[in-house]
Every structure is written in structure tokens, then in C-alpha cells.
Structure 1
Amino acid sequence: MQILFIVTSAERGYWLPELTRPYWHLTERGHSVTLASPAGGAVRHDRLSNPHSEGSWEAGCLVSKGFLADPALAAALEQTTPLAGLDAAGYDAVHVVGGTGAAVDLYPNPEVARLLAAFWDAGKLVGAICHGAIALGNLATRLAGRSVTGFSLAEDLEAEKLYGKDFIPHYPQPVLEQAGMRFSHVEPWGVRAVVDGKLVTGQNQQSASEYSLALLHALQGANPVVNLTKE
């Protein structure tokens, strides 16, 4: 299947494992991924999400290390497809990559709204993680009443200590709640993924692996995990 990844073009950047882990899980099962961004061309990741950066929050992310070490994959980050003109009909699902930059240029965004609406109206899978979940705010009339998660307000208030107050123009939780979605979350930096039919969301970078597997299983229409534990 063909999967579209929407990545921020903003200077604040995307969170690397929120791109690399879904990419790995999906391509490992034979699916193809196209990277696209509002401006097209090169996209940048948050320095703290690079496992090789000093003080990285993802120093142990072997998936990101492997991704960056592959010349072809690293080159793909330099030549993303512009969102304008993209046709959702050519794809089976969409994943919105997180990172604080997503809250700068993916909401509000008419091109993101156009694409996500096309996926949703066609009954295709829509996924988003962390700050990327704010892109769902572009579909308020379609997603009102749906269950979602994303980077919580409590986490954004913690992030302000690092990035400064109002470091992004919008925070995901208030945007999605105001859009009528049922937003849930666990404690800051805890793990949560939510599946509501064709809608899959992950709370934060700590949830990247769980979210990626939930996305994969929803795409394939089956979860291979069988729990045989008897009460």
C-alpha cells in the first residue's frame, strides 16, 4: 500500500522518531512511503530528536540512527513533495508526523485540510502523532465526537520551560477539544495510542512505537497479537 507522510516545513522542525519509527514498521511490511511537506524540498528535525546530537532526548533510538545512516533515506528528507497538487487518490493512508513545527504550519492549513478531508471522506486511514495531531483540527466538522490523543496541554506547559512561553501559536489539546473531539491523555511523557475506527493517534514521542504498530494493524485490518491469558 502507498502511505503519505505529512511533515512540517517550519523552522521548529519535526520529531525524528515520529517519522522514522512509523516509516520502519510500515516499510518492513512492504508498504511504500512518500514524504510531503507544505513547502516541499528539505525538511529539518528538532535537534533534540537526533540521536547523534549533544543532549539528545532520543540517544537510544536505533531506528533513527539506521535511517540517517542510509544515504537514500537521508536524501529523501532533502526532497519532500510539496502538498499543493498532491492527490489523495494515489494513497491508501496518511500519517501526520509530530514535532513542534507541526503546530506552526499544519494548522490551520487549507492544503492539509484538503488532503485529510479527501482521505477521510474516502474511508481511508488517517493517523497523527504528538503535535502532528493538531492537523486534525482542520477537520472539525468531520471529526467532532471522535476519540483522539496528542501532545497534552500539560506536556506543552512543561515544554514551555525549555522553549519559552507560547513557543508555538496553538497547542494541540485545546484546538482538538474546541473542534469537538474527545481528547484523552495519560500523564506527561506517558504512553498512549488511540484507535477510533479509521482514525489513529499517538500522544507523544514516547508513544511512537505503540502508535506505529496500531497504525500498521489498522491499515492491514488485523492485529496479529493473540492474548491467551486466562483469568
Structure 2
Amino acid sequence: MTTSTAIRRHANSSMAGKKVLYIVSNPATLMGFPVGFFAEEMTGPFFDLMRAGCTVDIASPKGGKVAFDGFSDPENEATQYPNDLITLGFKHHATFGKLLENTPSIADLDISQYDAVCVAGGGGPLVTFKDDTALHKLIADFYESGKIIGLICHGTCLMLWTTLSDGTLMADGKTWTGYPDSEEQMMDAALGTKVNEYTIETEAKKNPNTTFESAAPLAPFAIRDGQIITGQQQNSTRLFSDLLIEALAE
């Protein structure tokens, strides 16, 4: 198992032919507000992977137009990340910005074309991923095909539900991280209410066969356990990318 707690700059490597599927949540509603996926948790690794030589496709469970969480969009009036230049560059790029207008559905994908799958977090995943058995199966199929799985922040909720063909959870026997209760509590305190009905860490700890770990609140932290790479939250995107690229280069 590899744990990353400090940023490492990876050199450009030749990975031409490596193809990564990046899944983002479809739009949803949480506490009466529209939610989607956390911008930097997709745009950061997207550019890191491309710079390393990979091809990256963006898809969503249901297909169609997808959107950033408002507070993660540097141009949204409610943003908390006005200086996210990577996301600004993505939005205004002649090709990349249009990729969010009409994403393919996972039902239309051939996983044999990909070497890895990544899933961004944000407000949408806890709302839309829990009962999405097609998405769970897609992740299980990637895993059982020996491919790399990358999950970050609330995207790691898929560790709670992805069941393999033998009936065991993909999380069994694995050490991983995700958005921890300490950060959920910070978010709840900032908004003055409980935001999510359940939390990843609390649910993970109900499974005696898996190990959930986290660093201090908002600290960069990522873990690689075999094929599975997980990142704690948006501040972990560079560590997450480094571990993905390391795994893809093997």
C-alpha cells in the first residue's frame, strides 16, 4: 500500500495509448439547492493525466449535460475557489469546456477501451450514486478486469456499495480514504445544518473488513492499495494524480 501526504511533481512520461474514463455526477438537488461535481476534483487530474500522455474521456451515469458544484466553480457568485485557474482554463478551452455539455452515458461505454476509471466527488455523488447499480457494476467490472480505480472525496462513496461477482464488497481487505467525518462536521458547522444524510467514514466503519483512514481536516492525503487509489478531498488532487500516473506507468 502506498500513502501520499506530500506533493510530488511528476515528470512528463510517455503513456501514449493509455486511456482513462473520468466519471462525474449528473445534476441533483441537495437541501433544495442544485449540486453536481466538485470542479477541481475532475479538472486537476484531467490535465495531469493528459500532460502525462493519457487520453481522458468524461462521462456520467445518465449522460447529458453535467455541471460543477456552484461553490467549486470559480466564476459562480457563490464560489469559494475564485483562484482555481485550472478549472477556469478548462471552462474556457475551445474543446474541453464543451465536454460537459453532452456527456456519454456509462451504458454507452466499452470498458475494454480503458486502462483506468476515475470518479470525482462533490455534492452529487452521495445523492445519485447510492442506488445506481449500473454504476456499481461498471466499477466492479473495471476492478475485476485488473484496471485502475481512482476515487476522490465523495466519489469514494462507491467503496461502500460496489459488490464484486463473488458477492464481496470491493472495499473488503482494502485500506482507503475519502471525505472524513471531521470535514463533514466542518461543513455542517459552516452552513448551520446537517448537509448529508449519511457520511462515508461512518458507513465505512460499519464494515469490519475494510480500513478507512484520513489525515487532518483539509490536509492533502491519498492512498494506493493495489488497483485502488483514493483521495481525501479537493486538496488531494495532485497526490491523487501522482498515484494514478504511477499506477498507469507500471
Tell me the equivalent position of 1:228.
Answer: none
Residue 158 (structure 2) pairs with residue 135 (structure 1): yes
- From the superposition, tell whether residues 63 and 156 of structure 1 become closer, same or farther in structure 2 (CA, over 3 Å): same
- Alpha-carbon distance between aligned partners in 2 of 1:181 and 1:157, rounded to the nearest angstrom: 23
2:238 aligned with 1:215, yes or no?
A: no
Distance 2:75 2:243 in 1: 28
Q: State yes or no: 1:71 paired with 2:94.
A: yes
Give 2:115's match in structure 1, choosing from 65, 78, 92.
92
The answer for the alignment partner of 2:221 in structure 1 is: 192
Structure 1 residue 162, shift from structure 2 partner: 4.2
SS state at 2:22 partner: strand
Aligned partners of 2:204, 2:94: CA distance in 1, in Å? Answer: 37
- Name the TM-score, length of structure 1 as normaliser: 0.89
Which consecutive unaligned segments of at least 5 residues does structure 2 have?
A: 1-17, 29-34, 164-168
Work out the CA distance in 1 between the residues paired with 2:194 and 2:121: 17
Opposite residue 58 of structure 2, the aligned amino acid is L
In the other structure, the counterpart of 2:20 is 3
**2:199 matched to 1:171?**
yes
Task: Give the residue type in structure 2 aligned to 1:206.
Answer: N
Aligned length: 221
CA deviation digits over 1:73-109, x for unaligned, max 9? 1110111111224332221100011112111112232
Q: For 1:127 and 1:206, how far apart are their aligned partners in 2? A: 15
The Cα offsets for residues 161-203 of structure 1, whole Å up to 9 and x where unpaired, read as 3456443343221233334321000111111000111110000
Match of 2:77 in 1: 54
Question: Is 1:159 aligned to 2:187, yes or no?
Answer: yes
1:24 aligned to which of 47, 58, 70 = 47
Q: Which consecutive unaligned segments of at least 5 residues does structure 1 have?
A: 222-231
Relative to structure 1, the CA distance from residue 155 to residue 63 in structure 2 (aligned partners, 3 Å threshold; closer, same or farther) is same
Whole-angstrom CA distance in 2 between matches of 1:104 and 1:176: 17
Does structure 1 retain, via aligned residues, the 8 Å contact 2:159–2:170? no
Aligned position for 2:147: 124
Judge which range, 91-100 or 51-60, deviates more: 51-60
1:4, 1:35 → 2: CA distance? 6
Identity of aligned residues (%): 30
Bigger fraction of residues in helix: 1
**8 A Cα contact 1:108 1:135, kept in partner:** no
Q: For residue 183 of structure 1, what is the aligned residue in structure 2?
A: 212
Tell me how far apart the structure 2 counterparts of residues 151 and 139 of structure 1 sit (CA, whole Å). Answer: 17
* Distance of 1:169 and 1:88 partners within structure 2: 32
1:74 counterpart SS class: helix
Structure 2 equivalent of residue 45 of structure 1:
68
Q: TM-score, normalised by structure 2?
A: 0.83
CA distance in 2, matches of 1:199, 1:149: 10
What amino acid is the match of 2:225?
A: D
Q: Secondary structure of 1:178's partner? A: coil
Shift of 1:126: 0.3
Relative to structure 1, the CA distance from residue 188 to residue 59 in structure 2 (aligned partners, 3 Å threshold; closer, same or farther) is same
Aligned-residue CA RMSD (Å) = 1.6
Aligned amino acid, residue 176 of structure 2? V
